[in-house]
Structure 1
Amino acid sequence: MSSWVLPGAEFDELLRSFERRAWRWECQGTYRQPDEAEPWRRWRAGEPDDLRWLRPWLDEVAAATRTGRLVSRVRVFGEPPTEYQRWQLDVSPANVAAGEDIRVLPQAEADELGLPTSDFWLFDETRVALMHYEDQRFAGTEIIASPREVNRYRAWREIACDHAIPLMVYLHDLPQRSR
């Protein structure tokens, strides 16, 4: 059983209401989110970033992890990373500092492993929020609660986590990779 949830308050509630674990599979090379447009522009111009725009998310992650809940994701990166991904490499250490476990999986390896090409969140092992994008912008979420379907996403999560590199290790190894 699945249903369509429009972006906004309903999806934000999913991110706030999970009980144990929220895990994201993030596999688009570029996201064009309105709240990221100005920070990305500043980064491209070499201007400093105080990460104020990211503070609501960082606060949510910190609050969740203080209560023992897990927030984690695996990001699929091209080699070399796209311009958007290079920006994310610069800002994501703040996510890690807030308590989010971020890992990176090279695109070629994700392809070899047969992992999905659509982003999703897996909440508490029981619900999947399959994310839809139009022109690299978040367009909405399909909620999947069928145990059989959710198990498929759980299996993909396990495969991705088994092969992904912790963000800080990836950053350390980046000089050896083509950037």
Structure 2
Amino acid sequence: MRDEYMRSDPRFAAWQNGVRDDPAERDPERRPWLRLIADLVAQGVEVRRARIVSEPVSDYIRFEHHLTGPTVEAGEQVRWLPRRRASALALPGNDFWLFDDSSVLFHHFGGDGELAPDDEEFTEDPAVVKLCADAFEAVWTRAVPHADYRLA
């Protein structure tokens, strides 16, 4: 839900310096996330990600958009929601991963977009899980599939 994350990421620095279409971006051996997604999807697991972004988008969001193609090819479903279309939604205060509608892993970031020292918080609290599940579904239904989203 942030417009900038971990600007210290060497891949982001390379992207800012014009590195595009690095074959490593599509290589499951060099991007273990791609292998994980492909393996999960092959087992019948649905992996969905929704990104809420301000428009015009930041350079970091342009970078994320650039890296998303290979994850979609691996089987992850990704949608983008312009922030102005999220105003009427009740959203948790932090980014999160929702697992099987039974647990949530929150990620905490500092104001500079870097991971905070206490960067993860896990919960199985049913009320929190429901809040996150409902929020995610509300975003998902309004968001634009990756293939159709054009950067503003």
Once the two structures are overlaid, the 10-residue window that deviates more, 72-81 or 48-57, is 48-57
Aligned to 1:137: 114
The C-alpha deviation readout for 1:115-159, integer Å capped at 9, x for no partner, is 334101100100011111123122321111111221111111111
Structure 2 residue runs of 5 or longer lacking an equivalent are none
C-alpha separation in 2, matches of 1:102 and 1:138: 22
| Corresponding residue number in structure 2 for 1:39 | 11
Secondary structure of the 2:14 match is helix
1:20 alignment partner in structure 2: none
- Return the structure number with greater relative CO, CA threshold 8 A, min gap 6: 1
Aligned CA RMSD, in angstroms, stands at: 1.8
Matched letter for residue 113 of structure 1: L
Match for residue 156 of structure 1?
135
Query: Which residue of 2 is the match for residue 71 of structure 1?
Result: 47
1:70 is aligned with what amino acid? E
Count of aligned positions: 145
8 A contact 2:91–2:132 mirrored in 1: no
Where 1:46 maps in the other structure, the secondary structure is coil
Q: Which has the higher helix share?
A: 1
User: Which AA in structure 2 matches 1:44?
Assistant: Q
Alpha-carbon offset, residue 33 of structure 1:
6.3
User: How far 1:54 sits from its partner (Å)?
Assistant: 6.1
Q: Quick check: 92-101 or 41-50, which moved more?
A: 41-50
Q: Secondary structure at the match of 1:43?
A: helix
Going from structure 1 to structure 2, the CA distance change for 1:33 and 1:70 (only over 3 Å counts) comes to farther
Matches within 5 A, 1:43-54: 43-48=15-20, 49-50=22-23, 51=25
Distance 1:95 1:71 in 2: 10
Higher mean C-alpha deviation, range 51-60 or range 133-142: 51-60
Segments of 5+ residues of structure 1 without an aligned counterpart are 1-26
Q: How many percent identity over aligned positions?
A: 32
